[in-house]
Amino acid sequence: MSFPFHRPRRLRRTARLRAMVRETSLAPAHLIQPLFVHSGEGRRTEIASMPGQARLSPDLVAEEAARLDRLGVGGAILFGIPDVKDAIGSGAADPDGVVPRAIRAAKEAAPALPIWADVCLCDYTDHGHCGRLGDGGAVDNDATLPLLARAAVTYAAAGADVVAPSDMMDGRVGEIRDALDEAGFAETVAICSYAAKYASAFYGPFREAAGSAPAFGDRRAYQMDPANVREALREVELDLDEGADLVMVKPALAYLDVVRVVRETFDVPVAAYAVSGEFSMVKAAAERGWIDGDAVAREILLSIRRAGADVILTYFASELAERL
């Protein structure tokens, strides 16, 4: 039996009927706001390629954390922009670095707001790669692991609830889990691994914001090939075996098929990172009056939820939470 017996429009007739049968929700609690931290006090510098986003000093991160907390946002993830960089990214594990200081300040201002810390070396190395370089100039996977583990323990000690390794070194989740457990954070600090992180052109604005573009070459020898999806399942499986509590797919919009298949294959919380390029494209088109930026942002984030993400890391979190 078909039309005229069946008429799907009956349930679309009013706003309340549509709300009654809506399959997917988008709420502030699902969203994580990325924040860039640099040194100083009361210091805010706008990021030209990401309208509305800024680098903040730790005290301003604390103010922002309090605002996000009041709005019911799911959390904030911190990225550090250190004053000095070196060959092995030592700054990543400095307990007095900008990220540990911002974590402590945010936790004081808004104890309930979950604070995530990105764990990677690229913001801290003078060559901009995500790990320590070996003799041949390539990233040395195994020599990088202890450096990442030290950074993760530093953020845990400062009060982070979740550490999120984004470097894509093999074996880092297990190394970080062991180090966290040894340091007394077995019960309290979770790991969200950037499990399926692709070598993507969508990271452009972020690298400008963080000054983390590689000085030579690219990241294709450690981040995933955009052509692959079976490999994403393998990456997720390995990270879960090593102790990841949540797994992330990144970027989000151009990889919704990956989000969907990870969701269907593994019964764990799935995060998706709507990255800087995804944000800036919407902002740029909206500034030109070509699209309704707010409506498009909501539709994109809803599509990421519909694909199966529980949590979305997005630069729209703060402005959207105000409207939701």
53 versus 57: smaller Cβ distance to ligand PBG: 53
Among 124, 185, 206, 255, binds ligand PBG (CB under 6 A): 206
- Dihedral, 280, 282, 288, 289 alpha carbons, nearest 10: -160
**Is residue 102 a contact point for ligand PBG (CB under 6 A)?**
no
User: Is 159 in contact with 189 (CB distance < 8 Å)?
Assistant: no
Q: How near is the Cβ of 67 to ligand PBG at its closest, in Å?
A: 20
CB of 101 to ligand PBG, least distance (A): 20
- Backbone φ and ψ for 76, nearest 5 degrees, come out as -130, 145
Query: Distance between CA 157 and CA 175 in Å, rounded?
Result: 17
Tokens of 100: 């540990």
| 52 Cβ neighbours under 8 A, 6+ residues apart | 283, 315, 319
Selected range binding ligand PBG among 139-147, 176-184, 202-210, 254-262, rule: CB under 6 A: 202-210
Q: Which of 262, 260, 255, 273 is nearest to 240 (CA)?
A: 262
Considering only 276, 280, 314, 318, the residue that binds ligand PBG (CB under 6 A) is: 276
Interaction mask 160-189, ligand PBG, x per CB under 6 A:
------xx----------------------
Nearer to ligand PBG (CB atom), residue 111 or residue 217: 217
Is residue 58 within 8 Å of 107, Cβ to Cβ?
no
User: How many chain residues bind ligand PBG (CB under 6 A)?
Assistant: 11
| 314 sits near ligand PBG (criterion: CB under 6 A) | no
Show the DSSP H helices in the chain as ranges. Answer: 15-20, 58-70, 98-109, 141-158, 172-182, 204-210, 230-242, 256-265, 276-287, 293-307, 317-323
Interface positions, 103-132, toward ligand PBG (CB under 6 A): 118, 120, 122, 130
How many secondary structure helices (H) and strands (E) does the chain include? Answer: 11, 10
Give yes or no for residue 255 binding ligand PBG (CB under 6 A): no
Quick one: which of 67, 207, 298, 306 contacts ligand PBG (CB under 6 A)?
Answer: 207
- In the complex, the smallest distance separating the C-beta of residue 97 from ligand PBG, rounded to whole angstroms, is 16
Looking at 22-30, 54-62, 91-99, 200-208, which segment touches ligand PBG (CB under 6 A)?
Answer: 200-208
Q: For this structure, is 283 an active site residue? A: no
Phi and psi angles of residue 193, each rounded to the nearest 5 degrees, phi first: -90, 135
**Footprint of ligand PBG (CB under 6 A):** 118, 120, 122, 130, 166-167, 203, 206-207, 275-276
Catalytic residues: 197, 250
